[in-house]
Every structure is written in structure tokens, then in C-alpha cells.
Structure 1
Amino acid sequence: DCPPTFEIIAHQCLQINTKEKMNRNQAMQYCQQKGGELVTPIDMDLFVKSLVDRGYVHLENAMWIGGQFNFEENAMLWPDGTKVKEDECNFNLNGPGNCLKYSQSEVLLETCSEELMFICEIRFIEK
């Protein structure tokens, strides 16, 4: 089961935050206060399809997800430290900035100070 305010989307407990926009650090802190993280999609194609099916297809629907460029590792990493695989999705890693966003059915780079909506993930609660 997912906690209140979270719902199962693409086999994960997610909270899509559309009410207020935050920069990436603020969004990350918000998710952590809820006991979660910015989302690490386990199935990128299904994740993107699920957001498209919910109507999040326009530029103004851009949302932070968990990936961020780590300069020490010289790699894009998810919050748990695993590397983002470029073949998981049609990542466009040529954009500005070091942080990953979902926008218009793609996963793209964005400047981390940009204020966007965001998606928190929390682990399933075992019964």
C-alpha cells in the first residue's frame, strides 16, 4: 500500500506535486520530509507512458525526477547512487544544467535552480 497522498503509478508509490513549483534542492528536501526521494523510475518507458496517460504532456507540466549529474563520478546518478543508463529512455543529455526533469514525454536535462513541479517516490509499505 502507498501512504496517504501517494498513489501507485508505474508500479511505484508516487506523489505528483503540481500545486507549487520548487527548485531541485527544495523539491528533494520536500520529498525527504515526506520520507521519500525524488523518483527513480524503475521502468522508464512505463513511467513516461503513465504520465502521458495522465495528461502531463505540455511544457508547463515539466517535473523534477531524481537524476542529477555528479561531477566526482562524471556520471548522471539517481538518488541511490546508481548510474542513469542513457539507453533506458530517450534521454537528451545535451540540455542546460545537471538535473533531470520529465517534460513533454521525454527525460531531459535542466538547470537545477529552475522552479518546476516534481514527483516524490516512497517505498511500498510491506503488510
Structure 2
Amino acid sequence: MIFPLLLLPVVVWGYCDPEFTLVGEKCLYFETHYKMTFEEAGEYCNEMRGASLVAIDSATQFKSLVDYIYAEGITSNSYWVDGNDKETEGVWLTSSSKEFPMGTPFWTGYLTFQEPHGKPSENCAQLYSSAKFYINDVMCNRTYPFICEQAELPPMKITNEAPEVNSCPMHYVEIGGKCLSFLTYEETTWDEARLRCREKDGDLAIVNDIELLREINLYLKVQELTDHNFWLGASDAAVEGQWLWTDGSPVPMGTPFWGFNVGQEPDGAAEENYMALLSEGYFYFRDVSGSLALHPLCQLTE
């Protein structure tokens, strides 16, 4: 007997069309030579077999995009991305009418305000080179390079899933796969904050994952804690400029973790050697004096 040939589907992981490059979980095309208006850039992308301006879907994807721009050295220009509030002022959507992400860690966060901070005439989103490629709102008729996203995305393997946490002990809450405790009933120095956390079988929190920073921000909003300031478990007190977590691992630098003052944090030199999430700074990483009185943000020690 001759058996018929059984054809099984073949999955090609991470395949992109020739013009596109796999960045994170998206196939992207970076137009760095030509500058167009927001509308023209969208039309140009659409002519590439139905592509569109790149949509920012997650904090992880945003970080991959910014990391790629720096790794490739294409940092001299800002870039259009798929987001606008042209239809309703303050309601930011993509071209496919999906919600555009707001707040930290996407939009530039200064000490006194956070983007989008433009007038009603500034209705389109860009990765702003002068703000280390955080998102900014500008007039749509300005011309910039842009980033296109391949229409048909390849199937991807998920390798960065947060570890499962079945339950957290009393005084802790599960956020992003970790057990965290926000000690809002007291304010202490950084050293004292570590002692408070250790009394609860933990230490000051380590936030190495951008999705965790995003989840912390969302939690603070839901719990109406956005007027509080918190210590994190990082310092460069041992060696100036060498930021380490309390477990000795390096702190991620630059966008999308560190916020802005005049320039990008950390900017306090030898006088500000400890890390905090500040309400005034929209809960990006900030370097401050360890003598300040802030709330401990603890993480359960495994």
C-alpha cells in the first residue's frame, strides 16, 4: 500500500520581508533618509504591501525599538510612529483605532510635566531624538523620518514571560510576577528603608524589567498612590556612575527607564547616589540624596 504524503504546516520563526528587520517581535523598516509629514509617512508605509507606521504595543516592544535605534547609530533624527489625537483632543489612537499607550514608560517625563503637553495643534506622535526617543506630540505637518511595521507579522516565540507567583504573603501584592509591598505608612532614608524591608523578609525592590515598571505605574494609579514617593534598591554610592541593584546586578540605563530634568537622569553626580520613583517625576528612575524621607518599596526575597 502506498500511503499519501502528509504535509505538515511549517512555521518559520522570526521571518521578515527583505526590506524589514526583526526588532523585538515586529518586522520594521526604518526610513532614515527621507522626511515626510505624518500623513505622507503613513501612505508611504501602506504602499509597502500594506504596512503601516509602527504601533507601540507594549513597554517591552518600545524598549526594543529604542535599543535598536541606539545600537544602529540612527540617532540624529526623530521618527514618526502610529499615534494621533486628531479626531478627539487628548484621545490618542493608532490608525487602526486601537488605544495608544499613555504615561510612563512611554512619554517623556520631566520633573514638572509629562508629555503629551502640546497645544491642540500638536496631534501626532514621534520618537523625539532630543528627549532620548521618548514619545512626544508635535504638529502633523512637520516632516520627519519614520518607521514602518510589516503588515503580516510572523509567529513569535515568547521567551520573556514573567515567572508565575501563586500567592504573596501578608503585606505583599503580586505585580508583574513579583511580590511587592508599598510601605505607605512611613517615610525613611534609603538605609532605613532597606531595614524596614528586611524586617518583612524582603529588600528594596529591583525593577530590571520595563514591563514591571509599567505595571507598578498602573498599580499606583489604580490604588490612588500617585502622590507618594518610593525608594528602589539601587545605588552608585560605591563607584560614582556605576549603578547597581542591591544584588550586585547592573541597573539598566537610558530610555525607557530614566526620566528627565534638564537632561536625562541620573544627573545628580556625587550628591545623589540613590534611586527613587518620584511622583513629581512620573515614576521614572531618578537619582536623589539618600537622606530624603521616602516610602520603602519592598520586594519579597526568594
TM-score above 0.5: yes
**Structure 1 residues 74 and 48: CA distance shift in structure 2, 3 A:** same
Q: What SS does the corresponding residue of 1:5 show, helix, strand or coil?
A: coil
2:66 aligned with 1:40, yes or no? no
Q: Does 1:31 align with 2:71?
A: no
Number of the residue aligned with 2:277: none
Corresponding residue pairs, total: 125
**Aligned counterparts of 1:90 and 1:43: Cα–Cα separation in 2:** 9
- Considering fraction of residues, name the structure with more strand: 1
Q: Which moved more, 1:49-58 or 1:72-81?
A: 49-58
Distance in 2, matches of 1:111 and 1:72, equals 15
1:31-110 alignment, distance < 5 Å:
31-34=45-48, 35-55=50-70, 58=75, 60-72=76-88, 75-87=91-103, 89-91=105-107, 92-96=115-119, 97-103=122-128, 104-110=132-138
In structure 1, distance between residues paired with 2:35 and 2:63: 20
Residue 296 of structure 2 is matched in structure 1 by none
Question: Partner amino acid for 1:9?
Answer: V
* Letter paired with 2:105: C
Aligned AA (2:51)? G
SS in 1 for 2:42: helix
1:115 to 104, 126, 143: 143
Relative contact order higher in (CA < 8 Å, ≥ 6 apart):
1
Q: TM-score, normalised by structure 1?
A: 0.84
Tell me which moved more, 30-39 or 95-104.
Answer: 95-104
Residues 40-91 of structure 1, C-alpha deviation per residue, up to 9 Å, x if partnerless? Answer: 0222344245324432685x42000000114348511011101223136342
Q: Tell me how large the CA RMSD over aligned residues is.
A: 2.2
In 1: Cα distance, 2:93 partner to 2:36 partner: 20
Find the aligned partners of 1:125 and 1:50 in 2 and give their Cα distance. Answer: 17
Offset at residue 6 of structure 1 (A): 0.3
Q: Contact 1:49–1:105 at 8 Å: present in 2 too? A: no
2:126 maps to a residue whose letter is K
Cα distance in 2 for residues equivalent to 1:24 and 1:44: 23
Unpaired segments ≥5 residues, structure 2: 1-14, 108-114, 156-302
Query: Please, which runs of 5 or more residues in structure 1 have no aligned partner?
Result: none
